[in-house]
A and B are shown apart, each in its own frame.
Chain A
Amino acid sequence: MSIAEALDMGRYSVYVWSCYGLTLFCIIVELVWLKQHRKMVWQRVCRMVRMTKRQKDEAQV
């Protein structure tokens, strides 16, 4: 069987590959979104911790 025949999936290529493609796409989107969201939360928490520390230091002075 040639590669073209294998990819053709017996004339069902659009149906089969769209399912596999969509699944892969959704997984990648979820992973990227997860990473971006974590980065955003981490930066926000860092800012908050720095601010609290500064306030504590100022109160001590």
Chain B
Amino acid sequence: MKINIFKYAAPATFYPLAGKMIPWFMWAAALLGIAGLYYSFFEAPLADYQQGQSYKIMFIHVPTAWMSMFIYVVMAMWAASGLIWNTRLSAMMAKSLAPTGALFAFLALVTGAVWGKPTWGTWWVWDARLTSELILFFLYIGFIALGAAIEDPRRAAKATGLLALVGIVNVPIIYFSVIWWSTLHQPPSLKLNESTMGVEMLISILLMTLCFWSYTIGVALSRVRTEILQRESKTDWVAALVQEGEKK
């Protein structure tokens, strides 16, 4: 049996599919979050020999920082797909990911500052890693503001799409900043083929990352459904959906 995935690029077919997927991702996020918190507090070592128990902030800070970068890459990919193939759903997906990406960038910055105070003795330094992450947060805010400022959805999608694509250059800068420049921030503990971290700590971080990833998909799908409703409000299928909803 052949499944035509392009069928789901149409808002009318994607809308009900997204509705069915949201509870699965939200439940997965809840279960992964519980498992991640259990590992973080009960399985991972009680304290770090240098940082004491303040290192537990890592289980929130690292996944939120990863998510802020990862969401931006996915958002830029959707934006590029929208610009190349002119598909409505791609632009809506990019728009739906931006607020959650901004939220994770904000959380990465704040938890980093709170972790920095007891370990570095300061809330903030203008080093390469922190500054480039702050730029990422501003890129998200710029993307959201630009989209909101342009009334015509097609023009807004083009302008925000271009901004997303230009801003993607910042993502490798954030990642490699600790290698390219001398910064207060520590170099990456986790690489593709090696890790300097204990297994329990690694499992905790991965579980929390998967939790945030599931949460992001669930929230983005929910947001894209609302966006579809707004943009397609004059179509027959939305009218039928509303009448069906009112009968219930």
**Majority secondary structure, A binding face:** helix
Contact of A30 among B61, B99, B118, B230 (CB under 8 A): B99
Report how far A52 CA is from B64 CA in the complex, Å. Answer: 45
Shortest beta-carbon distance from B12 to chain A in Å: 14
Residues of B within 8 A of A20 (CB): 60
Report how far A19 CA is from B57 CA in the complex, Å. Answer: 7
Q: Are A15 and B230 in contact (CB under 8 A)?
A: no
Q: Are A42 and B229 in contact (CB under 8 A)?
A: yes
Q: Is B25 located at the chain interface by the 8 A CB criterion?
A: no
Report how far A16 CA is from B52 CA in the complex, Å. Answer: 11
Q: A36-57, CB under 8 A of B: which get 1 and which 0?
A: 0110011011101100110000
Residues of A within 8 A of B233 (CB): 44-45, 48-49
Q: Are A23 and B111 in contact (CB under 8 A)?
A: yes
> Which of A11, A23, A42, A53 has the largest number of chain B CB atoms within 10 A?
A23
Q: Is A26 located at the chain interface by the 8 A CB criterion?
A: yes
Q: Known contacts A19-B111, A30-B100, A42-B229: does B56 contact A9 (CB below 8 Å)?
A: yes
Q: Are A45 and B238 in contact (CB under 8 A)?
A: yes
Interface size counted on chain B using CB atoms at 8 A: 36
Q: Are B239 and A12 in contact (CB under 8 A)?
A: no
Q: Are B60 and A30 in contact (CB under 8 A)?
A: no
Contact of B239 among A10, A44, A53 (CB under 8 A): A53
Residues of B within 8 A of A46 (CB): 242, 245-246
Q: Is B117 located at the chain interface by the 8 A CB criterion?
A: yes
Give the residue name and chain of the A residue nearest to B64 (CB): A23
Shortest beta-carbon distance from A27 to chain B in Å: 7
Q: How large is the interface on A (under 10, 10 to 19, 20 to 34, 35 or more residues)?
A: 20 to 34
Shortest beta-carbon distance from B139 to chain A in Å: 19
Residues of A within 8 A of B103 (CB): 26, 30
Shortest beta-carbon distance from A29 to chain B in Å: 9
Contact of A38 among B56, B57, B111, B222 (CB under 8 A): B222
Give the residue name and chain of the B residue nearest to A16 (CB): B56
Residues of B within 8 A of A38 (CB): 222, 225-226
Report how far A46 CA is from B223 CA in the complex, Å. Answer: 18
| Chain B residues within CB distance 8 Å of chain A | 47, 52-54, 56-57, 60-61, 64, 99-100, 103, 106-107, 110-111, 114-115, 117-118, 215, 219, 222-223, 225-226, 229-230, 233-234, 238-239, 242-243, 245-246
Other than A31-B219, A34-B223, A53-B239, give 5 A-B pairs with Cβ distance below 8 A. A23-B107, A38-B226, A41-B226, A45-B230, A49-B239
| Chain A residues within CB distance 8 Å of chain B | 9-12, 15-16, 18-20, 22-23, 26-27, 30-31, 34, 37-38, 41-42, 44-46, 48-49, 52-53
